[in-house]
Structure 1
Amino acid sequence: MGCDASRSGAARAWRRRAPGHREVEHQVKIKGLPLWAWAVAALLYVGMAAAALELAWNRAIDALAEAGAHQLDLYGASLKSELGRFETMPAIVARQDSVRALLEAGPRATAALLHSVNTYLEAVNHEAGSVAVDVIDLQGSVIAASNWNQPVSFVGTNVSYRPYFKDALAHGAGRFFGIGTNTGIPGLYFASAVRDGGTPIGAAAIKISVDELESAWRRPNEAAMVIDRNGVIVISTVAAWKFTALRPITAEQQRELQASRQYAGRNVEPLRYTRIGDWGAGAWLGRFPDPRRPGHTTRYLVMSRPAPQAGDSIMVLLDVAGARRQQEVALGFVTGGFLIAGLYALYAMQRRRTIAEKLKAQDALRRANDELEATVAQRTAALTQTNERMQQEIAERKRTEARLRESQQEVVHAGKLAVLGQMAAGLTHELSQPLVAIRTLCDNARTFFERDQPAQAIANLERVSRLVDNMATLTGELKAFARKPVVERVAVSLNEAVAHARLIYDARIRSEAVQIDMRIPPGTFVCAEASQLQQVVVNLLGNALDAVRDEEKRVIVLDAVESDDTGRVLFSIADSGTGIAQEVLDHLFEPFVTTKPRGHGLGLGLAITSRIVEAFGAKIWAVNRADGGARFNIEFASAKSAKGVADGR
């Protein structure tokens, strides 16, 4: 007891000798942590954030480069297929006896022979779907053409300056991309020499349009183009970039282009772009003019490879905005982790303060007990009992606090598990149906390849690509569940959304012998967003299929009625199932409400569907039909004006 008293006295004396120790300690600490700890934490955060941004960027660009290589394969195959359809046609025309007879007769050709050749060329052009088919004499004059009876006819036009004509006479065949001097329409020319005993007596030429090819290549957040040997963009999904050069055109090249009138006499201007840096083999990053926003630029990942046509190349530009968004997500994760760590550190410091205060209180109690024992010996027993009771109270408080901390940790853990469960359930529910469609399309594509039908197989693979893009958007639905989504409402075809849903469930509809009754008038357009409207119809059709699966009568009716007075479209999906219980019907669109057996759904599908529909400015409700089954109704805003624009195209 004397030793304790001396130590306590020494401590009090030290505190008296150092009255400013608390002020000094406060100067080197901020909220309980020293300045160096805050500096280390800040440096650690900056380093981890930079590493996360770099990792997210590299992974996103690598994935984009892989997608770009796939796109280049598809574009190269489609270009080769398109060129192969027409490349041999001039040689076939050159072997026609009437064509050879017309060139041999020259000015002495009879009107009947000329009319026969013209009608033959007209029939060939019609069957092939080309722009024009011509027969050219040795002087380069078109003496017969498929458009001989059109207001703008090529008959009489001299094309001796065109490289495809010169190459045909010199080498037997020629190929050339240019703008028509008569029509101003760009196209690709193929030519073949017409021979008489090995001596050229003229040439046959065909011109094809690339407009359909450009339309097929056009995709969002992507640009595709073909660059000729001069470095000039001749095929492009961005109209503003067409016939601009990716490399400088010299004065001599300009003179040669003017002489051949390849670009209808216009000067080729350079495309103003900036090369930022390389990315692996055959890819680089660059900034190109944004055609939708004059004066602005867009950052792209650029990839290219040689085209089937000698000297040309195919280039694809992929918007890297998605990589930036992934960087933002990575930065958010790092920041969130540091915030959680900071909160935990503050909690730990607060707990240490609490323990220190309790220890100080216990120390004060012991000192008071010692003083009482020294001054009032007669009350020792009573004070001892009081001290024991206080110790018991302190122990009980500690046990209570320990139980409270355990309860708090259990609540936090349960909250984390609930969030993870919602995310996993949403992803499973939303991705299962597109995966079934992808499997069906892949099986069909394999069958088409086995039947040597690559066109149908490629079409199926393109559908798979679109479904994969849609699945990427589905992963954002759980985030959309937590807040009201903001979408851009445009005119969307209700028929196409229903056709998309039927394609996904096509195998199931056939296997379960479900009768689908369509009552949607053609050309019904509503105000919505295309991919999200498709997801709404997929969810509702899937629920209807589940409802009739065990029924003897399996009928699903899809109906749409447009009101000119209200400007609204009422769309409904009705089934012949057992209907919905009233206690469930009142809460049907709430999260985790489901009529399915355990293990077959968590009740997120209709809640997500409701939020998507509300974002369209529409409303959804469900009722039980009088003759059995349930009907889901959605009232959309009509889009007649948008429909007119779509029909005009």
Structure 2
Amino acid sequence: MRRASDRIRVAVLLLLAGLGIGVAGWLAYGHSKRLFLEDTSRRGDNVLQLAVTTLRGQMARFERLPQLVAEHALIKAMANDPENLGLSGLVNLHLKETQELLGASDIYFMDLKGMTRAASNFDTETSFVGGNFDFRPYFYDAVAGGEGRFYALGTTSRKRGYYFGAPVRVGGSIRGALIVKIDLDAVEEAWRGDDYALMVTDPEGILFLSSRPEWLFTALAPLTDEARARLAANRRYVDAPLDPFPQEGMTEVAGQSLLAVREGPVRRDYLHLAAPMPEADWTIRVLLETASARRQALTVAGAVMLALALGVMGMAVIAQRRARLRERFQLQQAARNHLERRVEERTRELAEVNRRLEGEVAERRLAEQNLRRAQDDLVQAGKMAALGQMSAALSHEFNQPLGAARTFADNALILLDRGRTGDARGNIDRILSLIDRMGSISKHLRSFARSPDQKLKAVSLPEVVEASLEIAQLRLRAAGADLTIALPDGLPQVVAGPVRLQQVLVNILTNAADAVEGGTDRRIRLEADTTDEGVRIRVRDHGPGVPPGLAERIFDPFFSTKGVGKGLGLGLSISYNIVKDFGGNLRVEPATGGGAVFVIDLRAAGAEVADRAA
């Protein structure tokens, strides 16, 4: 029951807090929206005043020009004799030069009947010459002695423009009107903005200048019959349709006027500001988008609601923690006691596991020692087996130079008895050469049979290859193999043991000799080149090769493809492990055209290894 009442109380408090946060957010939204709209209104006032100033400045540039141009002697002469065609050509040229100089759109002269007698655009397709514009207010205001002012869409050029009219006086009487038309497109182009729109309306509420081209020639309010009659009389907008402006109503929010505008499928609310321009009887309006103000107001409201929600959550968390502190305090002692018991139990278990691990580590170390000893024994046994296989060839190799030495010695005695000391000395030199040959073979055999030093160092590959050939040459010769060696200059030293690397090369070369023995192609090639990580040795034979199914087993201990009694199957296994100890890799690949390729990758010796070797 107590828990149920607590839950009800918490639910009620959360509901009240939610309502309070919602009300606070609504109030914050209304207040911030009013402030942001006021800020937007101030920005709109600046834009509006700048637009009014720009438009007035543009019009002020040309306001006095019609009267000045009307005082020119050619214009007065044209007014005295408007049908003089020769004079008309001179006036046309003068008006064209004046128009280009002043930057106006068009300048033209009209007689008292409204007929255009000369114009700056006389040489264009839309020439005003011959046109009658007596229906325009700028004409009849000018010939009445006043200043003509009128904004309209040109009936001939179909271009918008503002017209200034001035009377042409000759001898105190008005004899015509001089009209200057200016283009306000540049002003309109300067008004283009991203978040606001500028527009100018005439007394009828028709929008004739706008930074939004799609709004041109639309009416802010429905046109009355009287207004349409006036527009038809002066043909201000010629035959423009004058559709209604796409507005959906005007509202007042926080003292600001908001105008709803339909833009395709989207309805946008704009802040509407207006300023009159009495000298032209215009009204300049600016529309500023309120989306930014609404977004900022929503952001403020969201921030207020989030802050209040976080505050309520913080208070709830604090209250909940205080309620649970008492329960935790009661459970803490029991948990501590239980933890101490568990620690004691785990300590005993860890001590027992530690003792077992120490025993297993000792057994593992002993097993590693036995394994390494067995590997060393296998390496030595492999070498001795190789020496045993080569014993017959070695016997022949030693007996042959010994027999030759005996023959050279007998011949030397005979030559000495005959007094041929020079020839005898030559025989003795041959005997010494044979003795050196047998000594070199014996030296390499002793180092090959000796247990190798396990320490790795920098090794010269050409020296190891030369020592290996001293031992393997006997087997190669017995097999009738044709060995080719290609070692480029500048090979880097490799990380290895010289005796063990020698054993690897002897094993692979003797295997190659076994492979080509008795075959038709007995070529063997040993080559080496530099790689990114060190040196790659390739030994290629032209024997029967390694069957694809046996390539993965060829490096297993006691596995052999030779006949019974021709090997123990340890040579390649020992060689594989030796190369792995060097940090390298040994593999076999099939050769194009038959045979096999044994590839040995060795690491290049770094500076430290090379220094130790030196």
Is residue 83 from structure 1 mapped to residue 56 from structure 2 by the alignment? no
**Percent sequence identity over aligned pairs:** 31
Partner of 1:484: none
The one-letter code matched in structure 2 to 1:132 is: D
Is residue 299 from structure 1 mapped to residue 273 from structure 2 by the alignment? no
Partner of 2:19: 43
Is residue 96 from structure 1 mapped to residue 72 from structure 2 by the alignment? yes
Partner of 1:54: 30
Shift of the alpha carbon at 1:189?
0.7
Give me the whole-angstrom Cα distance separating, in 2, the residues matched to 1:110 and 1:343: 94
1:255 aligned to 229, 232, 243, which one? Answer: 229
Partner of 1:173: 147
Residues 80, 308 of structure 1: 8 Å contact kept? no
CA deviations on 1:155-211 (whole Å, 9 max, x unpaired) are 000001111111112242111111111111111111011122332211000111111
Residues 148, 154 of structure 1: 8 Å contact kept? yes
Is residue 29 from structure 1 mapped to residue 2 from structure 2 by the alignment? no
1:321 aligned to 291, 296, 306, which one? Answer: 291
1:214 aligned to 153, 169, 188, which one? Answer: 188
Give me the whole-angstrom Cα distance separating, in 2, the residues matched to 1:127 and 1:308: 29
DSSP 3-state at the match of 1:252? helix
Shift of the alpha carbon at 1:354?
2.2
Residues 206, 217 of structure 2: 8 Å contact kept? yes
TM-score normalised to the size of structure 1? 0.49
Q: Tell me which structure has the larger Cα radius of gyration.
A: 2
Instruction: Evaluate the alpha carbon distance shift between residue 151 and residue 359 of structure 1 in structure 2; reply closer, same or farther with a 3 A threshold.
Output: closer
Instruction: Evaluate the alpha carbon distance shift between residue 308 and residue 75 of structure 1 in structure 2; reply closer, same or farther with a 3 A threshold.
Output: farther
Give me the whole-angstrom Cα distance separating, in 1, the residues matched to 2:129 and 2:145: 24
Is residue 70 from structure 1 mapped to residue 46 from structure 2 by the alignment? yes
Shift of the alpha carbon at 1:359?
6.7
The alignment covers a number of residue pairs equal to 337
Residues 72, 304 of structure 1: 8 Å contact kept? yes
DSSP 3-state at the match of 2:229? helix
Give me the whole-angstrom Cα distance separating, in 2, the residues matched to 1:353 and 1:132: 89
Shift of the alpha carbon at 1:47?
1.4
The one-letter code matched in structure 2 to 1:340 is: L
Is residue 357 from structure 1 mapped to residue 327 from structure 2 by the alignment? yes
CA deviations on 1:377-423 (whole Å, 9 max, x unpaired) are xxxxxxxxxxxx99xx9xxxxxxxxxxxxxxxxxxxxxxxxxxxxxx
Partner of 1:375: none
Give me the whole-angstrom Cα distance separating, in 1, the residues matched to 2:32 and 2:183: 42
2:109 aligned to 135, 142, 152, which one? Answer: 135
DSSP 3-state at the match of 1:62? helix
Partner of 2:258: 285
Partner of 1:246: 220
DSSP 3-state at the match of 1:327? helix
1:329-478 matches, cutoff 5 A: 329-357=299-327
Give me the whole-angstrom Cα distance separating, in 1, the residues matched to 2:208 and 2:307: 51
DSSP 3-state at the match of 1:157? coil
Partner of 2:612: none
CA deviations on 1:600-644 (whole Å, 9 max, x unpaired) are xxxxxxxxxxxxxxxxxxxxxxxxxxxxxxxxxxxxxxxxxxxxx
DSSP 3-state at the match of 2:272? strand
The one-letter code matched in structure 1 to 2:259 is: G
Shift of the alpha carbon at 1:347?
2.1
Partner of 1:188: 162
Shift of the alpha carbon at 1:110?
4.8
Give me the whole-angstrom Cα distance separating, in 1, the residues matched to 2:44 and 2:145: 37
DSSP 3-state at the match of 1:106? coil
The one-letter code matched in structure 1 to 2:97 is: A
Give me the whole-angstrom Cα distance separating, in 2, the residues matched to 1:310 and 1:178: 12
Shift of the alpha carbon at 1:344?
1.4
Residues 76, 308 of structure 1: 8 Å contact kept? no
Residues 21, 309 of structure 2: 8 Å contact kept? no
1:578-593 matches, cutoff 5 A: none
Shift of the alpha carbon at 1:69?
0.5
Instruction: Evaluate the alpha carbon distance shift between residue 37 and residue 110 of structure 1 in structure 2; reply closer, same or farther with a 3 A threshold.
Output: closer
Give me the whole-angstrom Cα distance separating, in 2, the residues matched to 1:312 and 1:123: 31
Partner of 2:179: 205
Shift of the alpha carbon at 1:279?
5.1
The one-letter code matched in structure 2 to 1:90 is: P
The one-letter code matched in structure 2 to 1:48 is: A
Instruction: Evaluate the alpha carbon distance shift between residue 94 and residue 355 of structure 1 in structure 2; reply closer, same or farther with a 3 A threshold.
Output: same
CA deviations on 1:126-155 (whole Å, 9 max, x unpaired) are 011111100000110100000112222110
CA deviations on 1:340-386 (whole Å, 9 max, x unpaired) are 22331332233222233257679x99xxxxxxxxxxxxxxxxxxxxx
Partner of 1:161: 135
Give me the whole-angstrom Cα distance separating, in 2, the residues matched to 1:114 and 1:174: 23
Give me the whole-angstrom Cα distance separating, in 1, the residues matched to 2:22 and 2:57: 52
Shift of the alpha carbon at 1:308?
5.5
Residues 248, 262 of structure 2: 8 Å contact kept? no
Partner of 1:371: none
Residues 66, 165 of structure 2: 8 Å contact kept? yes
Give me the whole-angstrom Cα distance separating, in 2, the residues matched to 1:48 and 1:297: 28
Residues 244, 269 of structure 1: 8 Å contact kept? yes
Partner of 2:549: none
The one-letter code matched in structure 1 to 2:196 is: E
Residues 132, 207 of structure 1: 8 Å contact kept? yes
Give me the whole-angstrom Cα distance separating, in 1, the residues matched to 2:103 and 2:95: 12
Give me the whole-angstrom Cα distance separating, in 2, the residues matched to 1:42 and 1:187: 61
Give me the whole-angstrom Cα distance separating, in 1, the residues matched to 2:321 and 2:242: 74
Give me the whole-angstrom Cα distance separating, in 2, the residues matched to 1:90 and 1:126: 15
Residues 142, 156 of structure 1: 8 Å contact kept? yes
Partner of 2:210: 236
Give me the whole-angstrom Cα distance separating, in 2, the residues matched to 1:95 and 1:342: 83
RMSD after superposition: 2.3
Residues 79, 308 of structure 1: 8 Å contact kept? no
Q: Which runs of 5+ in 1 are unaligned?
A: 1-20, 366-388, 394-649
Instruction: Evaluate the alpha carbon distance shift between residue 171 and residue 296 of structure 1 in structure 2; reply closer, same or farther with a 3 A threshold.
Output: farther
Shift of the alpha carbon at 1:70?
0.6
1:501-516 matches, cutoff 5 A: none
TM-score normalised to the size of structure 2? 0.52
Residues 87, 190 of structure 1: 8 Å contact kept? yes
Partner of 1:105: 81
Give me the whole-angstrom Cα distance separating, in 1, the residues matched to 2:74 and 2:293: 61
Give me the whole-angstrom Cα distance separating, in 2, the residues matched to 1:331 and 1:252: 50
Residues 259, 270 of structure 2: 8 Å contact kept? yes
Residues 217, 240 of structure 2: 8 Å contact kept? no
Give me the whole-angstrom Cα distance separating, in 1, the residues matched to 2:73 and 2:169: 11
